[in-house]
Amino acid sequence: MSVRVRFAPSPTGSPHVGNIRTALFNHLFAKHHGGVHILRIEDTDRTRLVPGCEEEIIESLHYVGVEWQEGLGKGGPHGPYRQSERKEAGIYQPIIDQLVESGAGYYAFDTSEELTEMREFQRINKKPTGYFGGSWRDADAASVEKARADGLPGVLRLRIPKNETIVIQDGIRGRVEIDSNTIDDPVLIKNDGMPTYHFAAMVDDHLMEITHVFRGEEWISSAPKHVTLFNALGWAAPEFVHVPAIKGKDGKKLSKRHGDTACLDFRRAGYLQESISNFIALIGWAPGGDREIMTMDEMAEAFSMRGIQPSAGVFDVDKLNWMNGSYIRAMEPKALFQMVRDYSGCDENQDYWAEKDAPTAEAMKAFTAAAASDPVLAEKAIELEQERVGTLPEFGAACALFFEDEPEYDEKMLNKWKGKEHIPGMLGDFIASVEAMETVNEESLEQMIRDWAAANDYEKIGPIVHPTRLAMTGRKVGPGLWQLMAALGKETIIKRLTRGQEMLT
């Protein structure tokens, strides 16, 4: 049988990395087996619905490179793919009838007050909380009829068998056994007629012929309910694959407190698609072997359930930064330039940084302007900074030295070199040499500086290079001096060196 998997988010907010990682696993698994990946929307809870959320889901999926062949936006033979629409289409009704008829499901008419009271009682008596029968599981037909006739708002519950061992087959953990007496009777259909997850997700998985269900570890506790449902309906259950949670560095479940968690925030923060998907896939999954930097195709090739770790993984931003940097370094300078330009010029990204770190936002704007007025220099700047940058927004500040009219001098460096005797003359000599040069390039510049060093008996080149860099950029670190000067060009060299003479005297 060919593999069919699904990603089925609820439109209750922008998807976070945990959701997206599940989507990624689905995609990788489907691709590995040449199967089909379906996108379905589980919007049965109308009270929690967030408008515009579906777009964010799709955008997030695109960002990390997850593809699907059937479902939302694609159509397919098992539509509609929104559960609210499926309910409207009457898809669930025959199954509800079947459940009631067979006695596998039963109606319960407890009020919410009665239910909280029941739980309160259970709690006080140190009993497991839940609906283990209540007053309706074994109610006689007459009273159920009466309640229905009276128009009482009732729910449909699933009858979990007593004194049985429920076995669930988990793709990662293997066989898990649960005493059925510890499982309460879940609500299948709410009193507003909408199905719950327990009902709709299982029914849809069956109808859509899903073979493997990748879902968060938090579902493992309710898996027995799900296999009971499948059994009651006489259906074969798909294989459940409960993927481990993602924790923050403090070991707590990843949440807003840990910084960015929404998938799209990482795009705004300047992480490349390749590194985000590579990194996220590696939380809780190991491809085997020593490889870590992998393309989507390579990951799909290597993907298997066996490589998924049963324990929760930690989202380590340091490692993400490293990985992102290594993807940046692997890029063609031209493509990188285009990417940085698009990134820096995007309002959404600028707004993101304006709120988080204003100087970064400013630097992005400055770079955008500079790239527009002098794209050749800007591209050169990107190329020279490529080696030392971890994320896209960092290019703004890193490249600023190429465009500033009068760079601000690093105070420490200024104190260190200001007043040193050789500097004004040296800078003067450089100015004269550059003015006399026909072609100003890396070689001629390096030659000039080395010649000067030799002529003035300097063995080490540091006392020459450092103050010159300071004059050229105002900074103590940066790209190689001659590459830098060559990129800046004759006119700027002379201007900055002249200013350097004043500043350093």
Partner RNA sequence: GCUCCGGUGGAGUAGCGGUUCAACUCGUCACUCUUUCACAGUGAAGAUCGCGGGUUCAAAUCCCGUCCGGAGUACCA
Catalytic residue IDs: 256
Residue 28 or 155 with smaller CB distance to RNA: 155
Minimum distance, C-beta of residue 332 to RNA, in the bound complex (Å): 15
CA distance 377 to 355: 29
DSSP states of 288-341 as a string?
SSS--S--HHHHHHH--GGGB-SSPEE--HHHHHHHHHHHHHTS-HHHHHHHHH
Nearer to RNA, 2 or 129 (CB): 129
Residue with the two structure tokens 């025959």: 94
CA distance 187 to 468: 75
What element of type H or E holds 137?
A: none
Q: Closest CB to RNA among 63 and 107?
A: 107
Q: How far apart are CA 331 and CA 340, in angstroms?
A: 12
Sign of CA dihedral 55, 61, 63, 67: negative
Which CB sits closer to RNA, 342 or 443?
443
DSSP state of 74: T
Q: Where are the alpha helices (DSSP H) in 125-211?
A: 141-149, 197-207
Q: Could you tell me which of 179, 154, 163, 167 has the C-alpha nearest to residue 226?
A: 167
What long-range pairs does 285-293 form, CB within 8 A, spacing at least 24? 285/25, 285/309, 292/323, 293/323, 293/326, 293/327
End-to-end CA distance of the chain: 81
Q: Which of 221, 145, 152 is nearest to 183 (CA)?
A: 221
Q: Counting beta carbons within 10 angstroms of the beta carbon of residue 304, is it exposed (0 to 12), middle (13 to 18) or buried (19 or more)?
A: middle
Rounded Cα gap, residues 505 and 503, in angstroms: 6
Nearer to RNA, 88 or 351 (CB): 88
* Three-state secondary structure string covering 363-395: HHHHHHHHHHHCHHHHHHHHHHHHHHCCCCCHH
- Cβ atoms of 474 and 389 within 8 Å: the answer is no
Q: In whole angstroms, how close is the CB of 159 to RNA at the nearest point?
A: 15
Smallest distance, RNA to C-beta of residue 355, A: 27
Least Å from the CB of residue 30 to RNA: 20
Compare residues 244 and 368 and give the one whose CB is closer to RNA: 244
Q: What kind and span of H or E run contains 166?
A: strand 165-170
CA-to-CA distance for 244 and 263, rounded, in angstroms?
Answer: 18
- Considering the complex, what minimum distance in angstroms separates the CB of residue 260 from RNA? 17
Based on CB atoms, which residue is closest to RNA, 223 or 264? Answer: 223
